Amino acid sequence: MNRASNPLQIELGPSRLLGGYLVAAYAAALGIVVSRGLPGIAIGMAVMILLISGWRDFAKSSRSVAKQRIRRLVLFAQDDWLMVNGAGMTIRGRPLDAPLVHPWAVAFTLADKDGRKTPVLVLPDMTGPQNFHALRLWLRQNSQAVINGSPA
Protein backbone atom coordinates (compact mmCIF):
# COMPACT_ATOMS: atom_id res chain seq x y z
CA MET A 1 0.00 0.00 0.00
CA ASN A 2 1.37 3.40 -0.93
CA ARG A 3 1.42 5.45 2.26
CA ALA A 4 1.78 8.69 0.29
CA SER A 5 -1.73 8.35 -1.18
CA ASN A 6 -3.32 8.01 2.27
CA PRO A 7 -4.14 11.20 4.13
CA LEU A 8 -2.69 11.68 7.59
CA GLN A 9 -5.26 12.79 10.17
CA ILE A 10 -4.01 14.23 13.45
CA GLU A 11 -6.22 15.40 16.34
CA LEU A 12 -4.65 18.25 18.30
CA GLY A 13 -5.18 19.39 21.87
CA PRO A 14 -3.92 22.39 23.86
CA SER A 15 -0.22 22.71 24.58
CA ARG A 16 1.23 23.26 28.03
CA LEU A 17 4.71 23.47 26.51
CA LEU A 18 3.86 26.64 24.61
CA GLY A 19 2.97 28.49 27.81
CA GLY A 20 6.19 27.26 29.39
CA TYR A 21 8.20 28.43 26.39
CA LEU A 22 6.61 31.88 26.58
CA VAL A 23 7.34 32.17 30.31
CA ALA A 24 10.95 31.11 29.71
CA ALA A 25 11.37 33.61 26.87
CA TYR A 26 10.00 36.50 28.92
CA ALA A 27 12.07 35.49 31.96
CA ALA A 28 15.21 35.41 29.79
CA ALA A 29 14.37 38.82 28.33
CA LEU A 30 13.86 40.25 31.84
CA GLY A 31 17.17 38.74 32.95
CA ILE A 32 19.00 40.27 30.01
CA VAL A 33 17.48 43.70 30.62
CA VAL A 34 18.38 43.67 34.30
CA SER A 35 21.93 42.36 33.71
CA ARG A 36 22.87 45.00 31.10
CA GLY A 37 23.79 47.62 33.69
CA LEU A 38 21.43 50.23 32.30
CA PRO A 39 20.30 53.23 34.34
CA GLY A 40 17.44 52.49 36.75
CA ILE A 41 14.80 54.37 34.75
CA ALA A 42 15.68 52.46 31.56
CA ILE A 43 15.52 49.13 33.38
CA GLY A 44 12.18 50.11 34.93
CA MET A 45 10.70 51.07 31.57
CA ALA A 46 12.01 47.95 29.84
CA VAL A 47 10.68 45.70 32.61
CA MET A 48 7.30 47.45 32.47
CA ILE A 49 7.12 47.01 28.67
CA LEU A 50 8.05 43.32 28.94
CA LEU A 51 5.48 42.70 31.69
CA ILE A 52 2.70 44.44 29.76
CA SER A 53 3.65 42.60 26.56
CA GLY A 54 3.68 39.25 28.37
CA TRP A 55 0.36 39.94 30.04
CA ARG A 56 -1.20 40.87 26.67
CA ASP A 57 0.22 37.74 25.01
CA PHE A 58 -1.20 35.46 27.69
CA ALA A 59 -4.56 37.26 27.87
CA LYS A 60 -4.92 37.26 24.09
CA SER A 61 -4.03 33.59 23.74
CA SER A 62 -6.36 32.47 26.51
CA ARG A 63 -9.35 34.38 25.05
CA SER A 64 -8.97 33.20 21.49
CA VAL A 65 -7.57 29.75 22.09
CA ALA A 66 -10.91 27.92 22.11
CA LYS A 67 -12.06 29.21 18.71
CA GLN A 68 -8.75 29.76 16.95
CA ARG A 69 -6.83 26.69 18.05
CA ILE A 70 -6.44 24.08 15.38
CA ARG A 71 -8.25 20.93 16.45
CA ARG A 72 -7.49 18.65 13.52
CA LEU A 73 -5.10 18.43 10.59
CA VAL A 74 -5.73 16.33 7.51
CA LEU A 75 -2.72 16.17 5.21
CA PHE A 76 -3.01 14.80 1.68
CA ALA A 77 -0.03 13.88 -0.48
CA GLN A 78 -1.39 15.43 -3.70
CA ASP A 79 -4.22 17.69 -2.60
CA ASP A 80 -4.98 20.65 -0.40
CA TRP A 81 -4.43 20.16 3.31
CA LEU A 82 -7.27 20.74 5.76
CA MET A 83 -7.36 22.32 9.19
CA VAL A 84 -10.38 22.40 11.48
CA ASN A 85 -10.40 25.03 14.23
CA GLY A 86 -12.29 25.17 17.51
CA ALA A 87 -15.24 26.98 15.94
CA GLY A 88 -15.64 24.08 13.47
CA MET A 89 -14.41 26.13 10.52
CA THR A 90 -12.51 24.13 7.90
CA ILE A 91 -9.60 25.84 6.19
CA ARG A 92 -8.19 24.34 2.97
CA GLY A 93 -4.72 25.31 1.95
CA ARG A 94 -1.48 24.33 0.33
CA PRO A 95 1.89 24.59 2.04
CA LEU A 96 3.92 27.62 1.00
CA ASP A 97 7.39 26.28 1.73
CA ALA A 98 8.98 23.17 3.10
CA PRO A 99 7.89 22.65 6.71
CA LEU A 100 10.19 22.88 9.69
CA VAL A 101 10.32 19.35 11.05
CA HIS A 102 12.15 19.10 14.35
CA PRO A 103 11.99 16.62 17.25
CA TRP A 104 10.47 19.38 19.43
CA ALA A 105 8.20 21.15 16.96
CA VAL A 106 6.65 21.09 13.50
CA ALA A 107 5.85 24.37 11.76
CA PHE A 108 4.49 25.25 8.35
CA THR A 109 2.36 27.88 6.65
CA LEU A 110 -0.76 27.16 4.62
CA ALA A 111 -2.09 29.52 1.97
CA ASP A 112 -5.78 29.25 1.08
CA LYS A 113 -7.26 29.97 -2.36
CA ASP A 114 -7.76 33.65 -1.40
CA GLY A 115 -4.09 34.01 -0.51
CA ARG A 116 -4.58 34.20 3.26
CA LYS A 117 -1.72 32.61 5.14
CA THR A 118 -2.25 30.49 8.24
CA PRO A 119 0.82 29.57 10.29
CA VAL A 120 0.66 26.17 11.98
CA LEU A 121 2.76 25.13 14.98
CA VAL A 122 2.45 21.62 16.40
CA LEU A 123 4.28 20.73 19.60
CA PRO A 124 4.72 17.18 20.91
CA ASP A 125 2.26 17.60 23.79
CA MET A 126 -0.56 18.66 21.45
CA THR A 127 -0.98 15.08 20.25
CA GLY A 128 0.30 11.73 21.41
CA PRO A 129 3.96 10.82 20.86
CA GLN A 130 3.04 8.28 18.17
CA ASN A 131 0.92 10.84 16.29
CA PHE A 132 3.64 13.49 16.56
CA HIS A 133 6.21 11.02 15.22
CA ALA A 134 3.83 10.02 12.41
CA LEU A 135 3.32 13.71 11.51
CA ARG A 136 7.07 14.35 11.39
CA LEU A 137 7.68 11.23 9.31
CA TRP A 138 4.79 11.99 6.92
CA LEU A 139 6.00 15.57 6.38
CA ARG A 140 9.55 14.44 5.67
CA GLN A 141 8.34 11.87 3.14
CA ASN A 142 5.62 13.90 1.40
CA SER A 143 6.08 17.64 1.80
CA GLN A 144 8.55 18.25 -1.00
CA ALA A 145 6.34 16.40 -3.49
CA VAL A 146 3.32 18.44 -2.42
CA ILE A 147 5.18 21.74 -2.69
CA ASN A 148 6.57 20.84 -6.13
CA GLY A 149 3.13 19.66 -7.28
CA SER A 150 4.31 16.18 -8.16
CA PRO A 151 2.97 12.90 -6.83
CA ALA A 152 4.81 11.52 -3.82
pTM of the predicted model, to two decimals? 0.70
Query: Which residues of the chain, if any, have pLDDT below 70?
Result: 1-5, 60-68, 78-79, 143-152
| Integer Cα distance of 110 and 114 in angstroms | 11
Q: Looking at residue 57, what is its pLDDT?
A: 77
Q: Is the dihedral of CA 55, 59, 60, 65 positive or negative?
A: positive
Q: Looking at residue 34, what is its pLDDT?
A: 86
Q: Looking at residue 118, what is its pLDDT?
A: 82
